[in-house]
A and B are shown apart, each in its own frame.
Chain A
Amino acid sequence: MKLAQSYRMRLRRKRAQVRAFRKHFALRPVADRTRRIRPGEILLFSTFRDEYIRLPYFLKYYRELGVSHFLMVDNDSSDGGRGFLAEQEDVSLWTTKASYKGARFGVDWLNWLQRKYAHGHWTLVVDPDELFVYPFCDTRSIRALTDWLDVSQVRSFGAMLLDMYPKGRIDAVPYQMGQDPLEIAAWFDPGNYTIEKNHLYGNLWIQGGPRARVFFPDNPRRAPALNKIPLVKWNKRYTYVSSTHALLPRGLNLTYDEWGGEKASGVLLHAKFLDTFTRKAEEELQRRQHYAGSVEYRAYAENLRNEPELWCKWSEKYINWRQLEILGLMSKGNWA
């Protein structure tokens, strides 16, 4: 039985690799600077569509954390973001007009690029609206973290998605290019998350936060998954199976301790709920390129039309990683 399941997982992994191979034909290189990648460098992979306004801060944030090279896939943007990225010396850029949904929400494209360029590197897979926070990130670079993970013989590092939102209407303060989005979306839900274990892949399935509280109070099962494993010491045999929520082989999903202790973990601050969101939600509703028929966006659009406020009396204002650690949203584990 166990053997059969292992074999099934192997098949799934192979299938994901074949998919990645098939889908990569849709990728057209715009600026390929991958020859500049040196051994041991930390790489970042991301796909985006019409996110030009966020890109300058995104690059700045991750450069400061110590990311050496960005490998980005542009999904048919029309806002000039592509041109901007093509000029950056540490960015390699591909573009495609193919369906985001057809590439399993971009996973296939990135799986391909990771297989090709990331073997042996620590890789970070994040969206342009996700800011990675880990223990001691204010004083230690990502390299310190990955060196420590290497010494500890850990291959993957979990960072749950934490939805950030502004106080008041989410479209009240317009976001300016280059600005830290957390200046506007500074608030989060500190303690309403639910966790279940996914016995198939062994990862945890986390839901909750403002989206469950405001958009799905009557149908929590449909609330989006918040568990993510964005930082992995990549090997070309690895593959993401469903966004960055789960990986194969399954051992990579064990980023949590089951015997009472705490492993180290981080948080992806999800600065999605800015003024840009309302427009995006309407647009995505038309495109239907998101998970489960964009049910998420349908719920958002309905709610936001009436009352675009996620903030509540018990929302917490973001200060730093130590605050998240004390609240129990992330952990230092035994890193000191």
Chain B
Amino acid sequence: MSVGIIMLVHTAFGRAEQVARHWSAAGCPLVIHADKNVPAKTYDAFVRALSDLPDIRFCERHRCEWGTWGLVAATQSAAQMMLDEFPQVRHVYLASGSCLPLRPVQELIDYLAARPQTDFIESATTAEVPWTIGGLDQERFTLRFPFSWRKQRFLFDKYVQLQRAVGFKRRIPNGIVPHMGSQWWCLTRATLSAILEDPDREVYDRYFRRVWIPDESYFQTLVRLYSQQIESRSLTLSKFDYQGKPHIFYDDHLQLLRRSDCFVARKIWPFADRLYRAFLTEQGEAMKRTEPNPGKIDRIFAKAVERRTRGRPGLYMQSRFPVEGRENGLTSAQYSVFEGFSELFENFEDWLARTTETRVHGHLFAPERAEFAGGQPVINGALSDSAALRDYNPRAFLANLIWNTRGERQCFQFGPRDNQAIEWDIAKDPNAQISVITGAWAVPLFKSTKDFIEIRREAARLQQIESQHLNVLRSQWAKARIRIWSLADFTEAPMEPLQTIIDEIGHQERRGLAQVPRMVDLTGFGQFLQALKNQGMHPYLMGDFPVSTGGIGQPSTAPPKPYLVR
């Protein structure tokens, strides 16, 4: 009893010949089908090249185009010939010219001999697998597909639409249940001959002729009628990408293929010399008798598909430039934006860096330059602090910074003095944590020794900018985690909000804050605001500060007490 190999060939005949010799050397009878599109000259040369092999036949040729009936017809012809001419064959293995046996053929023969009743064919009902490409799953069995998907896409699509519009539905003959799966199978003589000699075969053939991609469903469906025992998996390792085309194996997959313990792999790049040499000539490994284990290859290809369809979030590069809304994350990691904190606290940046062990920058969008942590002129990724470079594309600047520092959380200061062009990007970014003390920009003005007229003008300008900015943060499109306090509210009880923000950043022992940042002395701030009011400029973003004392939270008589919050 032996295994018969059906080989479907349409290109790379040199390789097909090599593989055919390999099968033949192990005593497997072969039936080869060559695509009718192959020129006579090439075909004749191929037949001649193999003429010295015993037990090799060439079957009637059909025109094979992807997704059409020709492939099934070819398989039928070859299978019929195999059963008729080689009575010693018990299992028939369907392979292609670009398949490569990875284990000694004898191991496959033994494996199948130990399972004489088993049909190896992937066969699943359409409702239960998400394999299909292009949204046609059940419909591929209920509509008609006379047009080629590759060459007549327009007609293909229009005809599908038309059938849907008029509600056309084909009747599935004899109540068979459509199944699908990999087109590469290995069936027993009993099952295969039952399928080929079915009295209703004419009916099935007529039906499947107009099904879409029948080579993935004809045998997969009919095998359910006759098989004694189905193992729903393919013995051929064959992975498909998201467009439904097979992944190709190259020389650098050698170790991966070796360790997969699969019997046959497809599809192999015809110029992968090392693979062909390794698997077709270096034989005689010890019998392993292990089950195929393609897990690792599966993972690599699954990852490749994910890279192609989802990409790396927060990365903008030459071959990934998503339109708005499809970024799948505007930035690659979480970061924090602080507005008004470094104005209110004298040593806020140092304190924050120490407490959270994150990288704390100054005002990255300051008009003079990007104030990187530690005053560096260039930072990760060779990102420059030049304001002109940054403002040329602020969004790219931020995305680059976050991408370049993956693995280390970034914090930076922001305020109404800074370039506001970035505000929508951070407000819409779910990775941003934005904490705002409104009106805190007035504190440096209050401390300033500049001319009061100038201060008044600046205060009016900053207030207007921040007011606009708050509208952005409060808009319905804002997706960041945003917290806003007025200066008055914040100074009244500063530790609680600080604790919340720090907790959210996530690093630190849960002991509460050991150290607190030092708040600017706000004595006289109330009068300062009143003076602005007296000049006709009403500062309202900082909340209510009584005129008489400094800040509410800070009695003007005593220095601020240290406070701790649980």
Task: Tell me the A residues contacting B by CB distance below 8 Å.
Answer: 136, 139-141, 143-144, 147-148, 151-152, 158-160, 189-197, 204, 206-207, 210, 212-213, 216-221, 227, 255-265, 312-316, 328-336
Contact = CB atoms under 8 A, between A and B. Distances in A.
B317 A331 contact: yes
B271 A158 contact: no
Contacts of A160: 317-318
A220 B382 CA distance: 15
Contact of B318 (A192, A256, A258, A332): A256
B304 A259 contact: no
A194 B392 contact: yes
Nearest to A187: B382
Shortest Cβ-Cβ A-B pairs, 6 listed = A191-B381, A334-B308, A265-B319, A336-B304, A217-B386, A194-B393
Given A192-B382, A331-B319, A260 B311 contact: yes
Given A190-B382, A217-B384, A158 B319 contact: yes
B232 to A, nearest CB: 25
B309 interface: yes
B505 interface: no
Nearest to A136: B252
A192 B400 contact: yes
B404 interface: yes
B317 A328 contact: yes
A263 B319 contact: yes
B323 interface: yes
Interface stretch (B84-92, B241-249, B511-519, B534-542): B241-249
Given A191-B404, A328-B317, A259 B392 contact: no
A315 B321 contact: no
B383 interface: yes
Contacts of B384: 192, 212-213, 217
Given A139-B250, A261-B310, A330-B319, A192 B386 contact: no
| Majority secondary structure of chain A interface residues (helix, strand, loop or mixed) | loop
Contact of A334 (B305, B315, B378): B305
30 contacts: A139-B250, A159-B318, A160-B318, A189-B381, A191-B380, A191-B381, A192-B382, A194-B396, A194-B400, A195-B316, A195-B393, A195-B396, A204-B321, A206-B318, A213-B386, A219-B388, A255-B319, A257-B308, A258-B321, A259-B323, A261-B309, A261-B320, A263-B308, A263-B320, A314-B378, A314-B379, A333-B308, A334-B241, A334-B308, A336-B247
A204 B318 contact: yes
B303 interface: yes
A336 B246 CA distance: 11
Nearest to A161: B318
A280 B123 CA distance: 66
Q: Which of B382, B397, B403, B404 gathers most chain A CB within 10 Å?
A: B382
Most chain A beta-carbon neighbours within 10 Å: one of B303, B328, B396: B396
Contacts of B309: 260-261, 334
Contact of B326 (A148, A220, A259, A331): A259
Contacts of A159: 318
B380 A195 contact: no
Contacts of A219: 388
Question: Which size bracket describes the interface of B in this complex?
Answer: 35 or more
Interface string B329-366: 00000000000000000000000000000000000000
Contacts of A330: 317-319
B521 interface: no
Contacts of A227: 318
Interface string B237-262: 00001110101101110000000000
A225 to B, nearest CB: 12
B312 interface: yes
Interface string B297-313: 00011011101111110
Given A191-B383, A210-B382, A263-B308, A334 B242 contact: yes
A314 B269 CA distance: 40
Among A216, A257, A312, chain B packs the most CB atoms within 10 A around the CB of: A257
Contacts of A265: 317-319
B14 interface: no
Given A190-B404, A191-B400, A312-B382, 9 more contacts: A158-B318, A160-B317, A213-B386, A258-B323, A261-B307, A261-B310, A314-B381, A316-B382, A330-B317
Given A151-B248, A192-B383, A336-B303, A220 B388 contact: yes
Contacts of A190: 381-382, 404
A139 B251 contact: yes
A25 B525 CA distance: 80
A314 B380 contact: yes
A336 B242 CA distance: 13
Contacts of A336: 247, 300-301, 303-304
B322 interface: yes
B421 interface: no
A306 B299 CA distance: 53
Contact of A315 (B269, B311, B382, B404): B382
A264 B271 contact: no
B307 A334 contact: yes
Interface in B475-516: none
Contacts of A316: 382
B327 interface: yes
B320 A331 contact: yes
Nearest to B297: A336
B267 to A, nearest CB: 9
A258 B271 CA distance: 33
A106 to B, nearest CB: 23
B321 A195 contact: yes
A191 B382 contact: yes
B547 interface: no
A213 B377 CA distance: 11
Nearest to B391: A220
Contacts of A328: 312, 315, 317, 403
Contacts of B271: 141, 143-144
B404 A136 contact: no
A238 to B, nearest CB: 20
Given A140-B251, A218-B388, A257 B322 contact: yes
Contacts of B311: 257, 260-262, 331
Given A189-B382, A191-B382, A334-B305, A197 B252 contact: no
Interface string B367-407: 00000000010111111101011001100110010011000
Given A191-B380, A312-B382, A331 B252 contact: no
A255 B243 CA distance: 17
A139 to B, nearest CB: 4
A204 B382 CA distance: 22
Nearest to B274: A139
B269 A147 contact: yes
